[in-house]
Each structure stands twice: as C-alpha cells, then as structure tokens.
Structure 1
C-alpha cells in the first residue's frame, strides 16, 4: 500500500472510531444531536455527556495511543527486535509503581478526587519511574555496550519484579483502594478529564516531535552497528537518546492511563506492514494505529458489560496476545 494512501485511510478510520466512541454509550446520541451539541445547541444532558465525559476520554485515548505507538516504534528500532514494547520490558511498570506511590502519599482517591497539584506532577513522577526502571535495566544489561537481545531479556525480568512489587504494595491497601489500583494498573481511562489532557499534551508534542525529527538516524541503525558506525553514527549514544525518548513517552502515557501492554507492539508492527520500514512514516502511522485500537477498545470496555466497566488494558491484551504469539512463531521460522 502506498504511504499516502495508508496515512489517509488510517486518518479517516481514526475519525470514524472517535465518532463512534463519542456517540456510543449508555446515553445514546445520534449524529445530528452530536453536531448540534458541538455547535452549542444541545441540551444540558447532551453537553455533559459529550464535553465532560466522552470527548475528553476519547482525546486522552488518542494521546495515549500516539505516545505508546511511537514509544514502541522507537524501542523496536533501537533493539531491532519486533517484540520490544514498553509494557513488556518494565518501562510502563516502573512508571505505574511511582504513580501509585505518589497518589497514595497524597490521597486514597485515584483520579476522581485528585488535587490539581497532585495531578500536575503525575506525568513527571511517571517519567521518573520509567527512567528509574530503564536505568536499572541498562545497568544490569551493560557489558561493554548495550546488546539489544540482552537488554530485552533483562527488561522482561525487571518488568516481572516490578509487577510483583506493585502487587505486594496493593496487598497493604484497603479493599476499595486495592480495587481502584488494580483497575488502573491494568489500564483504564475512566478518570480522564480535560486537566490531564492539558498536562500531558505539551510533553507529548515535544517528545514525539523530537523523535520524528531524529527518525532518519534510526534508518541508519537498522543496517547494523558496524555499518552505522562506518557511516559516522555514534551507535551507543543514539541508542541512549532514543531509549530516553521512548521511556519518557511511555511514562507520560502510563501516568494517565495505567499500564496498557501490547499497544506499543501492535501499532508499529501493523504500520511496517502498511508503509514499509522507513521510520518517520512508520512512527506516524504507528501513532494513528495505536490510537485507533485504544479508542475502539475503550468504547468496548465501557459498554460491553455496562454499567460495569472493565479495564481497557484487558481488551487491548485480548487483541495483542494472539498477535504477539503470531510474531514469535513467524520470526522463529
């Protein structure tokens, strides 16, 4: 498929899925009512449903999907491994651990009643947690440089350890707090609001913009360390820069959506099949694909068993695990 065709088809699909997410729910809206409300002519109930609940939630899912899609694409480019993604190697888990600890120090309410100062610092706390996790992985896997396979395997081990630590921390909580943290750490957008969008949007614009600006170096790294070094690329330095960008993106996403695994795997992999291996195009399309998956998954999570809401991370995993196994089997041939 031609790159331009793929981009525009994905953009149209994203708009359709976003519209479905805003319309579909326990309070049904028609397309006419949607446009009327957006124009300022809706009822109070329609305005509340759209502007206070569904629209911010859909936009937050869009931003989180973009962040995790680009993060996964960077990790796969740096490691030259199609199975690399932030939820697997402990980046999301590290961010989740720090956010859980931060919120617990401030309040027993998760998202619904957070103070403005607590919410403002959440993305930065999450970035600190994800960077701490990556630093630990980097130190443990460093042997005269970073080898992608060793880094990935170390990350899987650290992810397991941090997940166990989060579970141990949850066991010390009351039943209500335990359930809230369990829902959030499995991936949830239920507490989304405009303030979280305003807090993370500038960070994502900077990180994603810089990743796209430097994406051409990833194309060189894809040829292998020896050839990249021969072309004048400082391989270890570039790996650290891209790893830092991927980590920050995953940390910001985890701060507002919890630990959503496989989204950073699905977007880049599907994007490569649609538009080839050039990283700039792949990262843009990966952001769109991951956003489409997350928005649609969140709509299902809200409405499949309404009024009970299930964590959106579970829906994403239902899609991601079979694809993950497919990649393992095909790459081993």
Structure 2
C-alpha cells in the first residue's frame, strides 16, 4: 500500500512536469507565442496563423514525442526484465540499426526522394522501419537460441548484429545523393520527423493496442524477474512468456523507430530512473518509465529545436544526456 501511494504521488508529479513541458513547447519555437495567446488559441480566439502553428505543427509533434517516448521506455523496461540484464535496450540490441538499414535500402533501391514522396508512399518509411526492426529481432532470437533463450547470448548477439548492420548502413549511405544522405542521416540520428496528423493517426492505434497489453502482463514480468527456475516453479511458461514479451517489446520499439528515427539510450535510462523511484514491480515500473521517457523526449526535442539556431535531432540530445549514465551503469555492472 505504501508503494502504491508513492507511485501515485510520483505519477502526479510526472504528469505535472509533462503538462508543463508540453505547454512550454507550445510557447517556444521559430515563431514565439505567449502563454496568453496559446490559451486564446485553444479556446478559439487565436489568429489563423496561431491555430496553424499550434494545432497543425506543434500539437502533432508533442503527441508523437509522447508516443515514441512511452514506447521506447516500456520496450527497454521489458527487454531488461526478460534478458535479466540492466544494459539491454532496443538501440544496443540492434533494433534501431535494423530499422535504419531497411529505410536506407528503400531509398537506395527505389530512389525515392524523401521530400517528394507520393501519397501512396507516405507510409513507406515507417513501414520499412518497422519491418526492419522485426526482422532484426527474429535474426537475433534465431542466432541466440540454444535449447532455450540464453540472455547473455541474446545480448552479445544483439551487439554483434548491431555492429554488422551499422557497417552495412554506412556503406549504403555513401551511395545516396547528397540530399537523401542528409535526410537519412538526420532520421538515423533520432529526428522526430513524422510530425503530421496523418502519421499520428496511423501510428496511434498500434501504440494504444500494444502498451496496455504489455502492462497487462506485469504479473508475468514480475515473476520472470525472479529468474527462470522460480518462474517455472510458480507455473509460468517461461520460454513462451519471454518470447511473447520480446516480440511485443520489439514491435513497440519498431513503431518508435518508425516515427522518431534511431533514438538510442531512451529505453535504457528511463526504466532505471523509474526503478529507483518506484521499485521493481512492473505495475508501477512500466507507467513510471513511460512517463519519464515521454518527459525526456519532449525536453530533448524542445532543446534541440531552440538551443541553437540549427535544429538538432532529439536523439542526439538524448544521447548526450544519457551517455554518462550508460558509462556509469557499465562500470557498475558485474
């Protein structure tokens, strides 16, 4: 009961911080809009220009950041529990690289300019990113499976696959024309590029489906956290549950990569911070990690667009903030 009260208090605080960050994101940008003007626009008393900026440009970007941050954080939390390794996350396991590879292959083979995509190919890049993430996960699972799923083999295989795909990705990028090369490079750096309502509506149903399903499996995650012997003794079909949860986590990460590019480390640090705040029980851990991931990504996107005169992809800001923490975890891990 005490942990539940603590979790509710932290959720309230995080909700306040997220709402404040969203409101600040409404205010600042290339065109500055005061808080009073934001409120007037929300109640329908703003100018057409203010309505365009707030509702058609900034609002879908904020919603996208919320979805991607939530998806990456929950995916990282599940992977850390299933692999029983606190360094596991979609970027390190090669999921982001796999998604990036299929996107660059699409650009290379079909020679489609990212700035002149036809209506029929509007969702081509998200689709190929999602497909690449899933195929990479299947390959990692296949290579690491040996009379069951061994977590150390899974992590090492993911790191090896990540290195190989990154090398192929670099070679393919060099064949792109300069315009598509810069677009691909920005996307791979973690750019929240799909900031239009059509992408939000296309991706939102999948997030709405997968996130509650994973949270529903909190009990199974709690048991798996105790280890394979204990979970089997408690009646959990260990291998089946682990495979199911890995597929769900990879699907969620694939959606995040499809919409936000290669955002690394977000799935690593969000669960760690959440674990320190509310403990290891997943019914509290997953929502907390989701809110922390959303908050970090909104702040990173806001800083990237306003810190300097040049737009910096949110993924780069997240990596700069997360790299020291990753090194700390690496040194601390036995």
TM over 0.5: yes
1:45 and 2:52 are equivalent in the alignment? no
Gaps of 5+ in 1: none
Deviation at 1:139, TM superposition (A): 1.6
Q: Contact (CA 8 Å) 1:261, 1:313: kept in 2 or not?
A: yes
Distance 1:190 1:124, change over 3 A: closer
Any gaps of 5 or more consecutive residues in structure 2?
A: none
SS in 1 for 2:122: helix
Show CA shifts across 1:152-181 (max 9, x none).
111011111111111111111111111110
Q: Deviations over 1:121-157 (max 9, x none)?
A: 5444333211110111112111111111110111011
Contact 1:298 1:312 in 2 (8 A): yes
Change beyond 3 A, Cα 1:78–1:170: same
Is the 8 Å Cα contact of residues 141 and 150 (structure 1) preserved in structure 2?
Answer: yes
Aligned match for 1:311, one of 296, 310, 313: 313
CA distance in structure 1 between the partners assigned to 2:315 and 2:262 by the alignment: 7
Is contact 1:103-1:118 (8 Å) kept?
A: no
After superposition, what is the alpha-carbon deviation per residue over 1:226-251, rounded to whole angstroms, capped at 9, x for unaligned?
A: 11111111111111101000110011
Q: CA separation in 1, counterparts of 2:302 and 2:117?
A: 24
User: 1:281-296 to 2 correspondence within 5 Å?
Assistant: 281-296=284-299
Q: Name the residue aligned to 1:115.
A: 118
Structure 2 equivalent of residue 65 of structure 1 = 69
- Structure 1 252/32 Cα, relative in aligned 2: closer, same or farther at 3 Å? same
Deviation string, structure 1 residues 43-70 (Cα, Å, up to 9, x no partner): 1221122122211111111110011011
Q: 1:118 to 1:106 in 2, by over 3 A?
A: farther
CA drift of 1:113 comes to 4.0
Provide the TM-score with structure 1 as the length reference.
Answer: 0.95
Quote the residue 2:93 is aligned against. Answer: 89
- Distance between the aligned counterparts of 1:49 and 1:331, measured in 2? 46
Matching residue within 304, 327, 330 for 2:329: 327
| Equivalent residues of 2:22, 2:298 under 8 A apart | yes
Alignment of 1:20-35 (within 5 A): 20-35=24-39
Return the alpha-carbon distance in structure 1 between the equivalents of residues 300 and 100 of structure 2: 20
Are the equivalent residues in 2 in contact too, given 1:71–1:247 (CA < 8 A)? yes
Could you tell me which residue of structure 2 aligns to residue 15 of structure 1?
19
**How many equivalent pairs are there?**
330
CA RMSD of aligned residues (A): 1.5
Greater mean deviation of Cα atoms: 217-226 or 34-43: 34-43
Cα deviation digits, residues 65-111 of structure 1 (max 9, x gap): 0110111011011011111100110111112222333355556333x
Distance 1:280 1:163 in 2: 35
Residues 103 and 201 of structure 1: CA distance in aligned 2, closer, same or farther (over 3 Å): farther
